[in-house]
Structure 1
């Protein structure tokens, strides 16, 4: 048997105090330890009415990486509403088209304003509830936050899908306002789901946080690919949108089922219990015979409550870098970049694929690549001043993209009258977004104490949420400028 480094039993018996903790959370995942943790083989003894126990000699493991894959998938789903709403550009352009003219090059105010409006309606509730999550999430049960949020998002997303088949031409303004209301409410519960997921991942080893972050980036790539495939096989914008939103609905249902399966596993409940170092007793249903692991925490352990002011003083440089990165990104993407048109007209590439491929698929692929490379290079490591310098230099992408081939008349000249330059700018813009955001999130938890890490993850999410809100507001101003 492979023993833990300390060779101390986790529990002496169900009534005794718990022995000292493992030296690290990673050891908890990687080793089989000598332990006196007990399994309740039956709910109650027929004679005494007390629980009966057998000895558990190994820590639950993540079989077949099931938990890791579920965390990755849930990361994709947390960003699904945002990605699906902004990527379905052809559908929204059709819904808010000019009914009195067949000239599609002349955009209506609703067509121009939809992307910045949807960004604002997404970022404001996201920011508010990410901040609230950092301070008050412990007052609401984990099941309610996760399952309840997913159910609400699923219901509202299903309503959005149903409206694809409803003719809204006669009440475009009402449909516009209704859609923004749906987006606002969805993002409230998406933020609760996002904050809850990061909090859960923080109770496991670091690879599970990496899975969530990677899943969020991969979700954007998946969404863009789904849009490209839907318009390839369905030329009608209504049919392609229906297929597109049905895929999103199916993903939400799958996420709900997978999370329910994960939350019932011994592995999940064991590690959730380990994070609550002042808990008394937890029974975990396991396998088909309803066995249970019961863990008793020591009364001598002290639970340290993190001080958010102290945490902020440690991570403010990391948080500021992530915040400025999001401000820069949302100020032009997607509100401004969707207005960039190909230099040449005609042909399927220019008329059909230019926008979804270069604006959405390229950006999300670059963002995902940046996150992967940052985790591999780990440069500039824990030197937030260098990250901040790179973030400030990145602001230069804003005027550069404004000088591309934007179809609307505006005071700035078209300096980059080239599709190739636009592609290069978008690729670098996306890559740096993923790289800087991820490197900030990776190293922020390394400058705080162990008991402060969960709050650190929540605060970093809040920093980025604030950046999204400010960037969305700037994009609205820029839209007024270019239109």
Structure 2
């Protein structure tokens, strides 16, 4: 508790500003009311009727990964589009057996092109979003970005039935340009979603984060279903992109309705303005109050950098081996004529099991959160995950030319994948939940958007390292 004593001469004139300074440093007692510090009647906190906002946050989380998941999962479709065209028959009866044979230059390089065109623009705009989040309206960032992504997805869907056999290079340029543009816009949307979720209670952050993992599960299930159905590459791609179009459309409509609810307005507007009147700062031991809050990116960065570095490490380690290395890990009994070992092992373990473990980890962190208030311990836990990198390198990843195989057991590899996925989801969601607790209420959106930048950097650097790790095998 601090006291302010006026030591000036009694008859000395004082200005209004000096008088206000003296008032601001008076003793603070619970029994003394502060005029204009908070409204006489506090705004009523509305309820989330029918859990509508919670479900929409789930859907918005799914939407953030729809562009990436559905483009990556349609691998057989891209191999069909960039196949070798034979003059005699046109090679329209393209099958999975053709894909496993010799690949053309476009086929072999397409996934690398896709990764680069996706990761770099996404990371760049996640960082930019942290600095423009308070300069561009929330409605424009959220509704506008979803609308543009939906349009790009509709154009991509239209190209599925188009005959691009005689202009593959032009189709490649169009596709990669669409991917780059879509990832730029998705970064603005994802960064905005992170900022919004930071204003809401932790369970809504968990819903958003869980929705991201659910997007991976949906893509993996669609892939497995098409393998079981035996659908052609064109039919599979059409199914993928139509599902993506539907999810994006419902996500856009749901958000439009969500922003009109009192519950949403309370946490994004009313509560933020109310909290701005409660900010206090300690200067030379005295507590002063400010009615206006100015953002300081440096101050926010100092408060969140430990969590930011932790989030970077989480995604750097994950993207270093998944999916570039893990997709190469084969079953020990591959080639013995069993469908599980030859067809379903990789899509089930690498994609579906990882996505389910990631989803479970995010849910667990929403229920049991540990450690709290110990960012250094969180960072150490993220560093320990680096051990997964050499572990996966010594699994049965094929083909390999340099490293021996030490882990050839399917069960041990599955167990390792589960732990890898659980820790990824748990640490990721825990960091998202803890970041808003170390900044002021008005800074939560900017802080969460800055975390999106750390996330993007982890994905980009991890993806770059994965290219080198594949060569090491």
TM band (smaller chain): 0.7 to 0.9
Secondary structure of 1:435's counterpart equals helix
Query: Structure with the greater relative contact order (CA < 8 A, sep ≥ 6): 1 or 2?
Result: 2
The change in CA–CA distance for 1:110 and 1:209 in structure 2 (over 3 A counts) is same
Q: Which residue of 1 aligns with 2:226?
A: 230
> How many angstroms does 1:466 deviate by?
0.9
Cα distance in 2 for residues equivalent to 1:142 and 1:434: 27
Q: Give the structure-1-normalised TM-score.
A: 0.78
Secondary structure of 1:277's counterpart equals helix
Secondary structure of 1:216's counterpart equals helix
Whether 2:401 is the aligned partner of 1:401: answer: no
Cα distance in 1 for residues equivalent to 2:382 and 2:129: 27
> How many angstroms does 1:175 deviate by?
3.3
Whether 2:469 is the aligned partner of 1:478: answer: yes
The change in CA–CA distance for 1:210 and 1:255 in structure 2 (over 3 A counts) is same
Q: Which has the larger radius of gyration?
A: 2
Whether the 8 Å contact between 1:370 and 1:431 is mirrored in structure 2 is: yes
Cα distance in 1 for residues equivalent to 2:439 and 2:133: 20
Q: Which residue of 1 aligns with 2:81?
A: 95
* 2:70 aligned residue (84, 89, 96): 84
Whether the 8 Å contact between 2:150 and 2:249 is mirrored in structure 1 is: yes
Whether 2:325 is the aligned partner of 1:325: answer: no
Secondary structure of 1:416's counterpart equals coil
Q: Which residue of 1 aligns with 2:424?
A: 433
Q: How many residues are paired up?
A: 415
CA RMSD between the two structures? 2.8
Whether 2:181 is the aligned partner of 1:163: answer: no
Whether the 8 Å contact between 1:278 and 1:301 is mirrored in structure 2 is: no
Q: Give the structure-2-normalised TM-score.
A: 0.80
Residues 391-412 of structure 1 deviation map (CA, whole Å, 9 limit, x = unaligned) = 2221122222222233334322
> How many angstroms does 1:307 deviate by?
1.5
Whether the 8 Å contact between 2:205 and 2:433 is mirrored in structure 1 is: no
**4+ aligned runs moved over 6 Å, structure 1:** none
Q: Which residue of 1 aligns with 2:24?
A: none
> How many angstroms does 1:123 deviate by?
2.0
Whether the 8 Å contact between 1:234 and 1:240 is mirrored in structure 2 is: no
> How many angstroms does 1:168 deviate by?
3.6
5 Å-filtered alignment, 1:31-430, equals 59-97=45-83, 102=98, 104-275=100-271, 277=273, 302-343=291-332, 344-345=334-335, 346-430=337-421
> How many angstroms does 1:244 deviate by?
1.7
For structure 2, the 5+ residue unaligned runs are: 1-29, 87-96, 276-288
Q: Which residue of 2 aligns with 1:20?
A: 38
Residues 258-282 of structure 1 deviation map (CA, whole Å, 9 limit, x = unaligned) = 1111122333334433155299xxx
The change in CA–CA distance for 1:360 and 1:92 in structure 2 (over 3 A counts) is farther
